[in-house]
Amino acid sequence: MTQEAFDRLLAFLDLDRDRAGARYEEIRSQLIKIFMCRGCAVPEELADETINRVARRLQEISSAYEGDPALYFYGVAQMVHLEYVRRKPVPLPPPPPNATEEAELKYECLEKCMESLSDANRELILAYYGEDNHAKIDRRKELAERLGIGANALWIRAHRIRERLRECVSRCLKNRQQ
């Protein structure tokens, strides 16, 4: 959109440039909400397309248009949405054929590397990452108390073990690919 077209759009919304700018943001926000509620994957792009179409038509309609300008935007948005729905959705690319094989290889290497850890380190890392959400926090506090260390020291130990596991898995994967 050119600066001239944008200025014309603001003048269509309100003669006071500050109020016009606020109105523009309000309309754009409403358009995005409309497209989101209708399940569109790219609501911002559709809102911008709607605004651009209105801006292109303003020279023709602005002198004769009466009423709330937002209603005109919403009418154009209806047409933009219909076009969006008619378009064939872009299919997602299929997963790479080796994805499951690669995941299995990583898992096998991880199991092998876990076996190479000492019993204490294996227990610590399994306990550290064994829970989700709030239970994870409680479990880590309990683990730190049981080991007689602070939460930060526990995090450092878990981090070091995790790094050793990461290196071990990387070596394992390299060896299997050769």
Domain span including residue 133: 99-177
11 burial via Cβ count (<10 Å: 0-12, 13-18, 19+): middle
Whether 35 is covered by a domain: the verdict is yes
- 71 and 25 together in one domain: yes
- 81 and 114 together in one domain: no
Last residue of a domain, which of 86, 114, 145? Answer: 86
- 71 and 109 together in one domain: no
Last residue of a domain, which of 86, 110, 127? Answer: 86
- 62 and 104 together in one domain: no
Whether 92 is covered by a domain: the verdict is no
- 72 and 22 together in one domain: yes
Last residue of a domain, which of 61, 86, 111? Answer: 86
Whether 68 is covered by a domain: the verdict is yes
State residue 129's pLDDT score: 84
CA pseudo-torsion sign 59, 63, 66, 69: positive
Q: What is the pLDDT along the chain (178 residues), one digit of tens a residue?
A: 788 888 888 989 988 999 999 999 999 999 999 999 988 888 999 999 999 999 988 888 877 888 888 999 999 999 999 999 888 666 666 666 666 788 888 899 999 999 999 999 999 998 888 877 778 888 888 899 999 999 889 999 999 999 999 999 999 989 887 7
- 14 and 37 together in one domain: yes
Which two structure tokens, joined as six digits, stand for 85?
């729905």
Whether 143 is covered by a domain: the verdict is yes
- 79 and 8 together in one domain: yes
Whether 91 is covered by a domain: the verdict is no
- 72 and 33 together in one domain: yes
State residue 91's pLDDT score: 62
Whether 93 is covered by a domain: the verdict is no
Burial 92-121 (b: 16+ CB within 10 A, else e): eeeeeeeeeeeeebeeebbeebbeebeeeb
- 57 and 117 together in one domain: no
Which contacts qualify for 105-111: CB closer than 8 Å, 24 or more apart? 105/173, 105/176, 106/169, 106/173, 108/172, 109/168, 109/169, 109/172, 109/173, 109/176, 110/165, 110/169
- Tell me how many domains the chain contains: 2
- 77 and 119 together in one domain: no
Whether 94 is covered by a domain: the verdict is no
- 31 and 78 together in one domain: yes
